[in-house]
């Protein structure tokens, strides 16, 4: 089975979704520059660019989404990108895992 994720930086409009993800994961909400992963249009995981801490929906399989967020953060650090809060994406990125 292949899962498709969309990765993008969080915006102010994602505040409620980030609070919800943190509550589902029994964790404090993420702050600052945050990258989010979406599956079927729903937020399933998020990662802080500042701390590397992540939150994820425990009712869904999110291991691949978290791995992709970590991979994207490593790419950004290697390239020295300092776009929006440490994450630079042009548009919506779709990544399929299998």
- pLDDT of residue 58 exceeding 50: yes
> How far apart are the C-alpha atoms of 14 and 64, rounded to whole Å?
21
- Model confidence at 1: pLDDT above 50: no
Give the pLDDT confidence score for residue 81 in this predicted structure.
59
pLDDT of residue 11: 93
pLDDT exceeds cutoff 70 at 67? yes
Distance separating the N- and C-terminal Cα atoms of the chain: 6
Instruction: Give the domain extent around 57.
Output: 3-97
What's residue 64's pLDDT?
94
Looking at the structure of the chain, the number of domains it has is: 1
Residue 86 phi, psi (nearest 5) = 95, -10
> What pLDDT shows up at residue 90?
43
pLDDT band (50, 70, 90) for residue 91: very low
pLDDT of residue 78: 83
Domain of 73, CATH number, reads 3.40.630
**Other beta carbons within 10 Å of 21:** 26
Question: Residue range 36-60: average pLDDT?
Answer: 94
């Amino acid at each position: 089975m292949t899962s498709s994720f969309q990765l993008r930086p969080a915006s102010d409009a994602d505040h409620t979704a980030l609070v919800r993800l943190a509550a589902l994961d029994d964790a404090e909400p993420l702050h600052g520059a945050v990258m989010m992963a979406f599956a079927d249009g729903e937020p399933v995981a998020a990662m802080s660019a500042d701390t590397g801490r992540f939150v994820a929906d425990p009712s869904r399989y999110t291991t691949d989404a978290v791995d992709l967020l970590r991979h994207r953060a490593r790419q950004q650090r290697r390239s020295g990108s300092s776009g929006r809060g440490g994450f630079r994406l042009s548009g919506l990125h779709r990544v399929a895992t299998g």
